[in-house]
Structure 1
Amino acid sequence: MTKTNPGRFFEDYTIGQTIRHAVPRTVAEGERALYTALYPQRFAVASSDAFALECGLDGSPIDDLITFHTVFGKTVPDISLNAVANLGYAEGRFLQSVFPGDTLRSESEVIGLKQNSNGKSGVVWVRTTGLNQSDEPVLSYVRWVMVRKRDVDAPAPETVIPDLADVVPPEALIVPEGLTFDSYDFALAGEPHRAADYEIGERIDHVDGVTIEEAEHMLATRLWQNTAKVHFDATHREDGRRLIYGGHIISLARALSFNGLANAQMIAAINGGAHANPCFAGDTVRAWSEVLDRAQVAPGIAALRLRLVATRGAAFALRGEDGKYLPDVLLDLDYWALIPA
């Protein structure tokens, strides 16, 4: 009897199946320091206890994407260990802040299945919930991933494709308990721009770039305890290259967006996202944003709906004449961020 875990294959999933993922993870100041070392993160609320206290919080929360990566990483051995690719996200909501010392775990429910026409793989949709040590939800999101079949002759399941919202409505966004921007220090935050200073349709080139090295992306993926073989094992792909974890690109692009969006302090929701093309060590990642919407969510607090694009190419280039993503586009992420109104 084998005791090792080969991971689930497409035929191992059933609609309604609930998976409790191992292993709980206590996040601490070490995660914050290493995150800042890996990504040029400078958002003030996630950087400074003093700044966060002035904003009504009990201290500086863990960066929202640390929460996302930690919760996501728990799911990999059960959801995407045998993945061909992680395809997208929807209906992501950050439900409460996470602070150093909190312990996170993850649960996922299978909500969709569709076998691919080649019969060798299929797409699995799961709704994942991250919970803290008090079993309170801190994060919920849907993702879909293409997973290999163990047996190509295994019968295809009934196709179920979930009906997912295009956007989390502003009234469903959670403002962290106590958060206020009444005493917000724009000088210390880094830029003077409020939500009212951004126009719908405005596009922002974040200017800076980061060249990815092999060691740092593998270190980042290990930090999140993400065990997907394509990120570490050079023999797992025919081209012998290690695929960069898509979350690494999300964090790089979000960190780069500080230049132009320094006051978009906290991510409230992820409306959708696509990893448009693979990324490898040696690629230089740049980012640009487009303002899609703006909403008031609490006194003095607004939410900007932003498209964040990570690319190896020029700013504001997204799709070709055929409607497909250009080959240099790595990430197309649609999210809501909280910002002084």
Structure 2
Amino acid sequence: MAKTNPGWFFEDYRVGQVIAHAVPRTVSGGERALYHALYPARHALYSSDEFARNCGLSVPPLDDLIAFHTVFGKTVPDISLNAIANLGYAEGRWLLPVVPGDTLRSESEVIGLKQNSNGKSGVVWVRTRGLNQRDKAVLEYVRWVMVRKRDLDAAAPETKVPDLAKVVAPEDLVIQAGLDFTNYNFTLAGEPHKWRDYAIGEQVDHVDGVTVEEAEHMMATRLWQNTAKVHFDATNRADGQRLIYGGHVISMARALSFNGLANAQMVVGLNAGAHANPCFTGDTVRAWSEVLDKSETNAPGVGAIRLRLVATKGGEPFVLKGDDGKYLPEVLLDLDYWALMPM
């Protein structure tokens, strides 16, 4: 009997299945150092332990996206090893801070299935939770993935498409205990712009760009233990190119957003997301944002801001889709998220 794992195929999933993903991971300051080496990340709360303490956090946390990538990477062997594409995200919330020394593991529940009309693949919806060593959830989100079938003659499952919220309600956002921006140091943060300075509908061109390098992407894919074949095996695609991990683009765009949104310190909600077009080595990633909504919070001096973050590999800023309603070919990412900002 073969002992290797070929991964899951579409016909292997059943609605209601709970999948416990293998290989828990203990995170440390090493992940932070590598994260800041891979991306131009400069948000002050995650760059300086002293800045975090001055914002009321007795134990400075690791970057929100370190938690996301670690939890996501655990799910790949069971959810997206045989994926054609990662299609979207919804209902994401960061629930507890992840600090050095935490051990993270992941579990996913299958909440939806729909076979494609070609009979060769189907879409799988899962709700994933990241748990720490105390079995407390630190992160949860829904994602849906197009997965190949192993047996094209396998019967199609009963279709179930989950009803997902279009946005995480502001009152459902979890704010880290103790967070206090009343004595926030705008000089050290890098920009003077407060929550009240941003208007709904305002657009911000983040100006800077970073060219994706093969070595950095390969390091990132391994760092997050993402085993999806299209990311590390150049023979897995007909064009002989490694597909850049979509999370790599998310982190790159978020880091680039510092220029114009330096005070959008903490990501606390993921409303929606689409990897609109593939990214490959040599593409230069740029980013722009649009303010979609704002909300006050109960935390002292803390406001929530809902942002659309768009990553591109060219073209004009603030242009997302063509006349046909489809994403323009230069658009890589369309991400809708909540962040926390000093008021």
TM score, norm. by length of structure 2:
0.99
What is the CA distance between 1:275 and its match in structure 2? Answer: 0.2
CA distance in 2, matches of 1:193, 1:297: 18
Q: Which residue of 1 aligns with 2:164?
A: 164
Q: What's the RMSD between the two structures over aligned residues?
A: 0.6
The equivalent of 2:328 in structure 1 is 326
What is residue 306 of structure 2 aligned with on the other side?
305
Offset of residue 58 of structure 1? 1.6
139-148 vs 308-317, greater mean Cα deviation: 308-317
Residue 6 in structure 1 maps to residue 11 in structure 2: no
Give the CA deviation at 1:246. 0.2
Matches of 1:171 and 1:127 in 2, distance apart? 21
Q: Distance in 2 between matches of 1:292 and 1:317?
A: 16
| Deviation by residue 1:105-143 (Cα, 9 ceiling, x = unmatched) | 000000000000110000000000000010000000000
Report what 2:27 is aligned to: 27
Structure-1 separation of matches of 2:201 and 2:182: 27
Deviation at 1:59, TM superposition (A): 3.1
Indicate the residue corresponding to 2:186 in structure 1: 186
Alignment deviations for residues 290-312 of structure 1 (CA, whole Å, 9 cap, x no partner)? 00000001231110000000001
Distance in 2 separating the partners of 1:262 and 1:116 = 42
Which runs of 4 or more aligned residues in structure 1 lie more than 4 Å from their structure 2 counterparts after TM superposition?
A: none
Q: Which amino acid aligns with 1:340?
A: P
Name the count of aligned residue pairs.
341
Amino acid at match of 1:330: L
- Shift in Å, 1:183: 1.3
Q: Which range is displaced more, 233-242 or 143-152?
A: 233-242
Aligned residue number for residue 340 of structure 2: 338
Asked if the contact 1:129/1:137 (under 8 Å) is kept, the reply is: yes
Q: Distance in 2 between matches of 1:244 and 1:286?
A: 15
The alpha-carbon deviation at position 236 of structure 1 amounts to 0.6
Identity of aligned residues (%): 76
Q: Match of 2:293?
A: 293
Q: Which runs of 5+ in 1 are unaligned?
A: none
Give me the whole-angstrom Cα distance separating, in 2, the residues matched to 1:243 and 1:54.
40
Q: Give the equivalent residue in structure 2 for 1:274.
A: 274
What TM-score comes out, normalization by structure 1 length?
0.99
SS in structure 1 of the partner of residue 158 of structure 2: coil
CA displacement 1:21-63 (0-9 Å, x = unmatched): 0110001000000000000000111111100000010232100
Q: Deviations over 1:130-187 (max 9, x none)?
A: 0001000000000000000000000000000000000000000011011000111000
2:325 is the counterpart of 1:316:
no
Equivalent residue runs for 1:208-287 within 5 Å: 208-287=208-287
Residue deviations 1:50-101 (CA, integer Å, cap 9, x gap): 0000001023210000000000000000000000010000000000111111
**Equivalence map 1:128-147=2 (5 Å):** 128-147=128-147
Amino acid across the alignment from 1:305: R
Structure 2: how far apart are the matches of 1:292 and 1:282? 31
